[in-house]
Structure 1
């Protein structure tokens, strides 16, 4: 996902096929093998987003 200022996030598919590209999370850590098929790649990205959203929700509920 690539959030742009003031716009909804966009899925970038072509960029992962560029030589030397790596997919990293918010912490700059690689979280997926870029060579996997599109379906597996998409599922991994969505799973990662769910994990991040769940963690953020927990952080908010414990800080209130």
Structure 2
């Protein structure tokens, strides 16, 4: 992987860019399926519970 570029726009949209050695399909699934996302989102030992996960524009993403 290369260095990440992260920026925040005024409307609270988070933009992150990274090169990953995997197919687009695998990366998309890892980011959009809560069952996969909970396994890697955050540092080692971190746990996630997703309350809402709507990827549509204007959708909500809520987790604890």
* Higher share in helix: 1
Of structures 1 and 2, the one scoring higher in RCO (CA 8 A, sep 6+) is 2
**TM-score normalised by structure 1 residue count:** 0.30
**Greater radius of gyration (CA):** 1
Tell me the TM-score normalised to structure 2 length.
Answer: 0.30
